[in-house]
Amino acid sequence: MIIILFFVVHWYLSLFVQTFYLHRYSAHKMFTMNKFWEKFFFFLTYVSQGSSFLSPRAYAILHRMHHAFSDTPKDPHSPHYYTNAFSMMWQTKNIYNDVLHERVKPEERFDGNYPIWNSLENFGDTYWSRIGWGVFYVAFYVAFVPADMWYLYLLLPIHFLMGPIHGAIVNWSGHKYGYQNFDNNDKSRNSLFFDFVTGGELFQNNHHKLPNRVNFGVKWWEVDPTYPVIWTLDKLGIIKLKKVRA
């Protein structure tokens, strides 16, 4: 069915740009790319996330803070200081907005060295953009949801908040549930052996131990599905991988 296909495509496109562009590129600089491809993936991030578009700058700063203060009171999104995932998401949103709109100045070590496209970034954060994408999602559902399958409309809130929902799954589950390969002095966990849900992001324990390793899987049976895509983009010359740290 077209609605289910649309939902799956939106889920995985939004997920890909979050893990590939916002996380591994903007926050960690695990690989390099020229200005054309940087703008291309910036635009793809805007289109894929739509109403839940996340600023590469604000994302990078919050994520660097997350690594520095993992599971401490200064962590922007540790689940161990909230009663549920929704309150964690709300607090993360407040910190994100403070950074995005420069109401607070981040520590110098967290700032800089991320992609900037001010015009698109500023537009992506406007109500016009967010509401416009929301109207598009609703219109698509109205056009293609059969009358007797009204319950599919329950998927719409996920479309509206796709980026933050991905982040909430990763930070809640990845710091509460699963196993540990390493003692990182935090509560990070690996939640799945094959992370088909968040594209490798649920290998949080591995990632906190080896934050610059592009393949989030460490054991031979840990499958990071985003890594083969990155490896292919490197072979095609679209990006250039930095030396992978073991």
pLDDT at 177 over 60: yes
Those residues with Cβ within 8 angstroms of residue 18's Cβ, 6 or more apart along the chain or in another chain? 45, 49, 54, 163, 166, 167, 201
Tell the residue number behind the tokens 């010359």, with chain if given: 237
Q: Please, are residues 30 and 212 in contact by the beta-carbon 8 Å criterion?
A: yes
pLDDT tens-place string over residues 24-76: 999 999 999 999 999 999 999 999 999 999 999 999 999 999 999 999 999 99
Q: What is the DSSP string of 7-44?
A: HHHHHHHHHHHIIIIIIIIIIT--EE--HHHHHHHHHH
- Domain layout of the chain by residue ranges: 2-241
| Predicted model pTM | 0.94
pLDDT, residue 246, reads 46
Q: Please, are residues 51 and 131 in contact by the beta-carbon 8 Å criterion?
A: yes
pLDDT tens-place string over residues 76-91: 999 999 999 999 999 9
Name the residue among 124, 127, 154 with its Cα closest to residue 141. 154
pLDDT-derived band of residue 244, with 50, 70 and 90 as boundaries?
low
pLDDT, mean of residues 228-243: 96
- Return d(Cα 192, Cα 169) in angstroms, integer: 12
Average of per-residue pLDDT values in the chain = 96
- For the record, the structure tokens of 162 come out as 């796709």
- Return d(Cα 20, Cα 30) in angstroms, integer: 10
For residue 240, list its beta bridge partners. Answer: 32
